Structure 1
Amino acid sequence: MNNKDLNVGVEATIGHGRDLEASWSHDHGGDFVTQLENNNLARGLQQRHIQMIAIAGAIGTGLFLGLGGSIQTGGPLGALLGYATVGLIVCAVQFALGEVAALLPVTGSFVRHAEFLVDPAFGFAIGLNIVYGNLLSVPAEISAICVLFQYWTDLSPALFICIFIVLTFVVGISFVGIYGEIEFFFACLKILLVIFLIILGLVIDLGGIPGQERIGFRYWKTPGPFVEHIATGPWGQFLGYWAVMTNAVFSFAGVESLAMAAAETQNPRRNIPKACKKVFARVLIFYILAVLIVGMIVSSDDPRLNDYTGDATMSPFVIVASAAGIKAIPSVVNAVVITSAWSSSNQALLSGTRVLYGLAIKGQAPKIFLETTSWGVPYVCVLFNTCFMFLAFMALSSSAMTVFWWLVDLTAAGVLVSWSCILVNHIRLCLAMKKQGIPRTELPFHNRWTPYSSPVALFMCIAILLTGGFSTFTKGNWDPASFVSAYLDIPLVIAAFLLWKFIKGTKFVPLADIPIREALKEVTRHPEPADPKAVGWKRVIGILWD
């Protein structure tokens, strides 16, 4: 594995098609880091980038705008328990991803891991699911940006669509280090805003705003800690908690993408596990504190939570701050939510293009997607994804927008499918090592509890996936669109799996045949240098990501 100097341009140039065929078939059929990745991609993502990219992906509209809906659905305690439960699932997913990615730091992350540890057809199905999901996610985020800008101006949304298509394309086609710096900056903004809103909420709750009385835990007593959802009594309260948990999954979505560009990350075997360990704790703390504070300052039956404008006015923090006479908060929140939406579109573009590149390495996508620029970006993948950004213009038509968002909802279950894939990969790795008599201590990164946490988290992911549309099965709540959006992703993944298995005749990889010992030898052959210790002011501000 080559660790290239970032100040030296990579030797890959556009159009070296003659070398692609030979390089593609080299290096274990693409199971390990290939010559293509070493020679044609640039390691432009540093440890701080990886840490903050994961934070940027997990802290977004779900936190700033969506917490009010969770409080309304499950009550303050129901929402808190729901987010805590999903937080523990995310913990298991992160540690499972860290262990496998440290052994196999390849482009496409868990998609390529699935081929190595389970079945090539499984990797193809998961990869195709991620690619098409991100093809729709980018224009969806750009459409959301248009709605957010309407909070300030009446200018045509078409103007903002054009601007952000260009900006997203420029970031996507630029050196990956530029993407890392932009996401690093956005993540810092989000962290600062979250900390500010948590402190502001606590001050308001304790009566620190002149003219506002102390709230305390008043709303936990009346209307109560739980909200009955669909049914009544304890069963209704449980359904409220479960509905919150279903929503919380999508608030945490994005943390799994930190390893998608592993072959473009400096020292990935050390930095990706480090990010998996530390990002989880920070994201969980932010969410748990935010849910706790929101549950204290906003009543679950507050009619203002029914505002579905899509901009800052629906944020529970804005609702309370406006009532307290703090006029600047709505604009500040709206501005940061815009950066969150654009950050999400950048992240979806990175994830979609790198998975597509990984599929091409394995021969599961046209080889033209292996073409890279001289600075190490798979430009054909970026151009392909950019073509779908223009779907955002559907936002200009209300009827077309309805259809568009219906299509986007189809990809929501893809988050749980991705998490399930990560956990299945890890379970297979553990079983294979046990079968081959290889101690887990030989892994570059391992934890004692992950062989037990992964099966439990996988059970929970499948349970949430299968019950994601449970409300449509209750009396008087049947909605065909909601049913399809909740469950269509499942048969699509199964169909892709069976199709590739039928066409290629692939077989599940026997546990005894998974070349784990060879992968461990790759780790030994290519040791990673230690990170230089930060000193002075870099050490002080490095507390955010170290």
Structure 2
Amino acid sequence: MASTSGAMDVDVESKAPSVDIASTPENVTRIVEENEDKDLSRSLNQRHIQMIALAGAIGTGLFLSLGGALQNGGPLGALLGYAYMGGVVCAVQFALGEVSALFPVTGSYVRHAEFLVDPALGFAVGWNVVYGTYLSVPSEISAAMVLIQFWTDKYPALWITLFIVLTFLVGIIFVGIFGEVEFFFALLKIFLVIGIVIMGLVIDLGGVSGQERIGFRYWNNPGPLVEYLALGSWGKFLGFWAVMTNAVYSFAGVESVSVAAAETQNPRQNIPKACNRVFARVSILYLLSVLIVGMLVPSNDPSLNDYSGTAATSPFVVAATRAGIKVVPSIINSVVLTSALSASNQSLLSGTRILYGLALKKQAPKIFLRTTKYGIPYVCVILQTLVASLAFMSLSNGALTVFNWLLRLTAAGTLVTWSVILINHIRLHKALQKQGISRHELPWHHWWTVYASWIGLVSCLLFLFTGGFSVFVKGHWDTATFISSYLDIPIVIAAYGGWKIFKKTKILPWRKFLFEKRLMR
């Protein structure tokens, strides 16, 4: 290894420089950006980024975990829960958009944490994202197995292997191909949600032959809210709060739009545009879907209580089946299956790019710096593909059971990520304020985001610490639920504290020229 400076070493095997995190933030930023420009390919254009943002906003969780939300919270509880979480997601997206417009770098919020807060926080959240996204791939494959079992329960090992291979192929080839695949999957999702809303209205208004008008019948019986773990108003509130974990998983991945900034054309314009439009997607697509399902499927439908893991339990499929429509359930199931594959692809993109960024800064083994001639960090992709083999647990425990385990694990990691994104944004605005720089000088900004970030941060922390509240109710202790709900908290704290002690990092002072340089671009 030949040394070129005190801040940068050149890896002969990978041809990629690595960065000493002890260097000043501006040097770290310069060196990493130079390496990204050299080794990564800017092949994602505005069309791709817009659709990746949309694909991230419509995940498998909407189609699978919504059933659990309806069962626990009732139609009104599910609607309010998803609306509340949608507001938090909007706060996260706008915060991410503002910071990413100023610092459009691969690794996004991980790198932002390093030069806006503390290098140790960047290390902790970086590995937290790698851990979460690597678990998300087998989670989505388990979700795909739930959907496949709607048609057949034969050859599960073969299906899992096929999904792993497909995910690997999409991740290892030219990133522009990834963009095209996600563009196609996102279009299918849009058409599916629009079709579901139209179908739901037709069924609800009695437009299906032999079916009477439903209206808001199920809001009256069994009722708009469901008692969960307790009786009366308190039980109904707990039912509403139980919706949050399902909703977090449904929205997980919306932050991935900025992770591949170094592989995006004109990231300072395209990424904020993608973040800016998430509000309409959340309010129209998600809330309409939740409302329609609550009108068509009663919260006490026995299909929603199927925890065997041997059949698909998507409430959209249940709604079509209850209406006696034989073809539509298979169509819905097919498109939801592509949603699982899409979510798996996005998790692979996020996890591999974050791991690549960690390796650049010597926070991960240098072998992860190796890229193909098309700019794909192929060693990162291979590792994530190996971790995806956890999906084979579905063979002994049931696909839906494994999906629910991984759901809780990834939901906690998602909340940590969102909290860091909001902290980065708050710190950025505080720095601008202290240095007398108007936020209007930012490439992209909104007047209300400062307030929204504080509300979002408090909400994320509440969701994080109450994610496994059910185990603390008398008679409902479950070790697996407790571990999967709270394991991520000590992992992140240990990673932050360990790196801080090892590298003696400090919360960074502000360097005005760093902002001025960015604002003049």
**Corresponding position: 1:490 with 2:489:** yes
> For 1:144-223, what aligned pairs fall within 5 Å after superposition?
144-223=143-222
Q: CA RMSD in A?
A: 2.4
Aligned AA (2:27): G
**Corresponding position: 1:20 with 2:22:** no
> For 1:415-454, what aligned pairs fall within 5 Å after superposition?
415-454=414-453
Aligned AA (1:20): P
Give yes or no for contact 1:95–1:276 (8 Å, CA) kept in 2: yes
Larger mean CA deviation between 259-268 and 71-80 belongs to: 71-80
Equivalence for 2:506: 507
Q: CA deviation at 1:495?
A: 0.3
Q: CA deviation at 1:194?
A: 0.7
Give yes or no for contact 2:73–2:226 (8 Å, CA) kept in 1: yes
> For 1:52-451, what aligned pairs fall within 5 Å after superposition?
52-308=51-307, 313-398=312-397, 406=405, 409-451=408-450
CA distance, structure 2, for counterparts of residue 290 and residue 404 of structure 1: 22
Q: CA deviation at 1:264?
A: 0.5
Aligned AA (2:351): G
CA distance, structure 2, for counterparts of residue 284 and residue 52 of structure 1: 17
Larger mean CA deviation between 410-419 and 26-35 belongs to: 26-35
Check 1:517–1:261 CA distance in 2 against 1; reply closer, same or farther (3 A cut). same
Check 1:503–1:27 CA distance in 2 against 1; reply closer, same or farther (3 A cut). closer
Aligned AA (1:500): W
CA distance, structure 1, for counterparts of residue 449 and residue 59 of structure 2: 28
Larger mean CA deviation between 471-480 and 59-68 belongs to: 59-68
Question: What are structure 1's unaligned runs of at least 5 residues?
Answer: 1-13, 526-546
Q: CA deviation at 1:309?
A: 5.5
Aligned AA (1:521): K
- 1:417-446 deviations in whole A, cap 9, x for unaligned? 010010000000011111111111111111
TM-score, structure 2 as length reference: 0.92
Q: CA deviation at 1:282?
A: 1.1
Give yes or no for contact 1:312–1:334 (8 Å, CA) kept in 2: no
Equivalences, count: 509
Aligned AA (1:323): R
CA distance, structure 2, for counterparts of residue 101 and residue 307 of structure 1: 42
Q: CA deviation at 1:146?
A: 3.1
CA distance, structure 2, for counterparts of residue 469 and residue 31 of structure 1: 38
Give yes or no for contact 2:43–2:175 (8 Å, CA) kept in 1: yes
Give yes or no for contact 1:27–1:35 (8 Å, CA) kept in 2: no
Check 1:398–1:311 CA distance in 2 against 1; reply closer, same or farther (3 A cut). closer
Question: What are structure 2's unaligned runs of at least 5 residues?
Answer: 1-10
CA distance, structure 2, for counterparts of residue 448 and residue 261 of structure 1: 27
Give yes or no for contact 1:23–1:36 (8 Å, CA) kept in 2: no
- 1:140-177 deviations in whole A, cap 9, x for unaligned? 32233234323323542222222222221111111111
Aligned AA (1:200): M
Q: CA deviation at 1:18?
A: 5.3
Give yes or no for contact 2:20–2:28 (8 Å, CA) kept in 1: no
Give yes or no for contact 1:311–1:334 (8 Å, CA) kept in 2: no
Q: CA deviation at 1:403?
A: 7.9
Give yes or no for contact 1:312–1:318 (8 Å, CA) kept in 2: no
Give yes or no for contact 2:68–2:246 (8 Å, CA) kept in 1: no
- 1:82-138 deviations in whole A, cap 9, x for unaligned? 111111101100000000001111111100100011101001000011112222221
Equivalence for 1:533: none
**3-state SS, counterpart of residue 17 of structure 2:** helix
Equivalence for 2:7: none
- 1:223-244 deviations in whole A, cap 9, x for unaligned? 2221111122222111111111
CA distance, structure 2, for counterparts of residue 99 and residue 254 of structure 1: 18
Give yes or no for contact 1:198–1:293 (8 Å, CA) kept in 2: yes
Check 1:520–1:268 CA distance in 2 against 1; reply closer, same or farther (3 A cut). farther
Equivalence for 1:535: none
**3-state SS, counterpart of residue 283 of structure 1:** helix
CA distance, structure 1, for counterparts of residue 291 and residue 108 of structure 2: 34
CA distance, structure 2, for counterparts of residue 219 and residue 400 of structure 1: 29
Aligned AA (2:87): L
Q: CA deviation at 1:522?
A: 3.6
